[in-house]
């Protein structure tokens, strides 16, 4: 039998080697507790196993959070569902169950600037990550930049493959900024590749009828809309701008000059024949 000091040193080394940091951290304290509470060897071991499992789960979630690039402050706690149209709030609650990711369905969020599209996508994303799901947040502009750079370096398919490791790819602000045809081609390639393979969660302040502004020609636009809408949940946040309301509260005199011009407002039903699967 080794001496107690040697046992500890060897245990520490072994647990380090086996990469069981939580066991290493808690075995001593738990051993004292086990003596006090007269736990069986199995109960003691089980408690240690649980500690390691918990630590790994936590580490995995923080890794997923980091990789997701989702702004942490746009979470469900800071998102007031009561401000949303009843249907949108109900849809978002259903989305939080995460089944749409298993079905590789898309989430398309429409609304005026300031209506909470970005916050809604982030809040759903963060909640799903807490359940261990893998998502990534980017804006349409950033994504297009990355895709173009990859294309120039002949690494487009590699990047698309990397992105396919995410169950949900959040593409925020589709339609902001006028992009060139080449820029939109890479975006279309990505959407086509992801079709039925992984969920896309996107927001746009442009109704489908104006997506030719994004995809340039009618054919590409129709093809992009087809793929996105085919299996999708469409959430419409057609509510007064939250930014504007907050400003109004602080400055009662403010008038509605901050609202977007007519043409950027989504139509009542952006999808036309919406295949809203969340009912």
Interacting residues toward ligand ADP by CB under 6 A: 74, 78-80, 83-84, 111, 113-119, 242-243
Helix, strand, or coil (residue 75):
coil
The partner in contact with residue 79, picked from ligand ADP, Mg ion, none with C-beta cut-offs of 5 to 8 angstroms by kind, is ligand ADP
Closer of 15 and 144 to Mg ion (Cβ): 144
188's CB contacts (< 8 A; 6+ apart) are 215, 220, 223, 224
Closer of 159 and 187 to Mg ion (Cβ): 187
The partner in contact with residue 44, picked from ligand ADP, Mg ion, none with C-beta cut-offs of 5 to 8 angstroms by kind, is none
Question: Residues in the chain, how many?
Answer: 279
CB of 123 to ligand ADP, least distance (A): 9
CB of 114 to ligand ADP, least distance (A): 5
Query: How far is the C-alpha of 3 from the C-alpha of 58, rounded, in Å?
Result: 35
| Dihedral (CA of 179, 181, 183, 187) sign | positive
CB of 186 to ligand ADP, least distance (A): 23
Closer of 39 and 141 to Mg ion (Cβ): 141
Q: What is the CA radius of gyration of the chain?
A: 25
CB of 188 to ligand ADP, least distance (A): 23
Cβ atoms 170, 136 nearer than 8 A: yes
The partner in contact with residue 243, picked from ligand ADP, Mg ion, none with C-beta cut-offs of 5 to 8 angstroms by kind, is ligand ADP
| Residues engaged in binding Mg ion (CB under 5 A) | 117-118
Closer of 120 and 147 to ligand ADP (Cβ): 120
Give, as one character, the DSSP assignment of residue 133.
-
96's CB contacts (< 8 A; 6+ apart) are 76, 124, 127, 128
The partner in contact with residue 155, picked from ligand ADP, Mg ion, none with C-beta cut-offs of 5 to 8 angstroms by kind, is none
């Amino acid at each position: 039998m080794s001496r107690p000091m040697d046992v500890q040193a060897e245990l520490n080394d072994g647990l380090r080697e086996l990469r069981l940091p939580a066991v290493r951290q808690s075995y001593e304290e738990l051993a004292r507790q086990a003596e006090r509470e007269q736990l069986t060897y199995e109960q003691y071991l089980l408690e240690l196993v649980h500690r390691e499992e918990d630590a790994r789960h936590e580490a995995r979630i923080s890794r997923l959070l980091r990789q997701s690039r989702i702004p942490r402050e746009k979470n469900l706690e800071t998102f007031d569902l009561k401000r949303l149209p009843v249907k949108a709030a109900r849809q978002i609650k259903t989305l939080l169950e995460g089944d749409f990711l298993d079905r590789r369905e898309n989430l398309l969020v429409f609304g005026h600037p300031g209506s909470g599209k970005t916050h809604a996508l982030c809040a759903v994303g963060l909640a799903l990550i807490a359940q261990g799901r893998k998502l990534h947040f980017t804006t349409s502009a950033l994504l297009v930049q990355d895709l173009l750079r990859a294309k120039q370096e002949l690494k487009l398919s590699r990047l698309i493959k990397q992105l396919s490791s995410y169950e949900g790819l959040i593409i925020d602000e589709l339609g902001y900024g006028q992009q060139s045809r080449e820029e939109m081609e890479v975006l279309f390639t990505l959407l086509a590749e992801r079709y039925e393979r992984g969920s896309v969660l996107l927001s746009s302040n442009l109704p489908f009828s104006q997506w030719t502004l994004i995809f340039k020609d009618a054919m590409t636009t129709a093809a992009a809309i087809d793929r996105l809408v085919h299996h999708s949940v469409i959430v419409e946040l057609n509510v007064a701008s939250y930014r504007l309301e907050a400003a109004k509260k602080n400055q009662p005199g403010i008038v509605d000059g901050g609202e977007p011009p007519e043409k950027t407002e989504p139509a009542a039903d952006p999808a036309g024949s919406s295949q809203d699967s969340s009912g």
